[in-house]
Amino acid sequence: MKIECLYFDGLQTKEYSYTLDIESDILVLTDPQTNQKKVFWSVDEIKIVQEPTPTTPGKISSKSSPDARIIIASSHDWKKFIDALPASSKHMEWVSMKWRAMPFYVILSIVCLFIIIKATPELMQKAVIFVPQSVEKKIGDNYVEMISEKGVCESEAGNKALGKIINTIKQYPELSDVDLKVTVIDQDIKNAFAFPGRSIVIFKGLIETAKTPEELAFIIAHETGHISERHAMKGYLQSQGLSLLINIMVGNMSPAGNSLPEIAGTFGNLHNVRHYEDDADAFALSVSQHINMDHRDGAAFFERIAKKEKAYAFIPKWLSTHPETKQRIKKIKEFRSDETVEYTPILNEEEWQSLQSICQ
């Protein structure tokens, strides 16, 4: 196990770039330039100062050097470090720290509860303006990094074709200066997501499901609409408020996959997400018109989804995180329906085949 980290000795502000390893219950920091071992901590003395979040790194210290800090930026590397610790030393110090901080958590719980009860979607939309773009980008990059552990699809021809779609979409005036980052993940999931910080993730299953490049381009334009309006960041702010409260109540301060806080955050935000989806669809239609792309392929894609939704017809309308598919299809088909337009193909057949096989 070799983990990149930063080390502060607590005596001066200078930082040292070292690699971390655990050898026979001893934490060892090595200078990668000279290969000399510089720092030795017993794992029994390790204190977890701060667990990593999407915006902050993980920090550890030692009982023998309480002012020193080891900083691990990558959440993936943090997990490797925690997994390598002996079971006896993993949680004791962190648990004791949480108990010492319990009065603070109780007060914070009350404050969070008050904010959540009083806060409105409009307030959350306004709050996003106080989040710097650099922080938003860091949050998005961290989530994309975690998802990328499932495997990223790349090929020279496929990347070129995907880049052509992205550059064509960026011809839309509002996107000319936007640095879009699109990552294809090697998973059979028929979906795509926009993350804070202008990042979009497309799953292999979605590319393979699309029948034409225009279908895929419409979905990318839709996700770009979320980015343009900072929907992902607004949703993150709204959901994390509730998730933070529940985490404090159950004593869980670490992120989890399909945890109760995550589910609660999602359901608490349903009433607002559907509005975001309507806005993103409208944005995709405007982009399609500007680049002269056949938007009707977007309707064709949703029509295929509608066939699958019949099996879930019992789900009430208000519980859907996407607008009802039939409504989306109707709006897309009616757009420019009174015009006779000769559309411009976004990719040729060879480019489309390259993009569809990007994960092979």
> Is residue 164 over pLDDT 90?
yes
> Is residue 236 over pLDDT 50?
yes
Q: What is the pLDDT of residues 26-55, one digit of tens each?
A: 899 999 999 999 888 888 888 888 888 888
Q: Which amino acid is at 155?
A: S
> pTM of this prediction?
0.60
- Closest alpha carbon to 1 in 91, 92, 93, 85: 85
Q: What is the mean pLDDT of residues 245-274?
A: 42
Q: Who contacts 221 (Cβ-Cβ below 8 Å, separation ≥6)?
A: 169, 283, 284, 287, 288
Q: What is the CATH number of domain 3-99?
A: 2.30.29.30
**pLDDT (0 to 100) of residue 84:** 83
* Domain boundaries of the chain, sorted by first residue: 3-99, 126-356
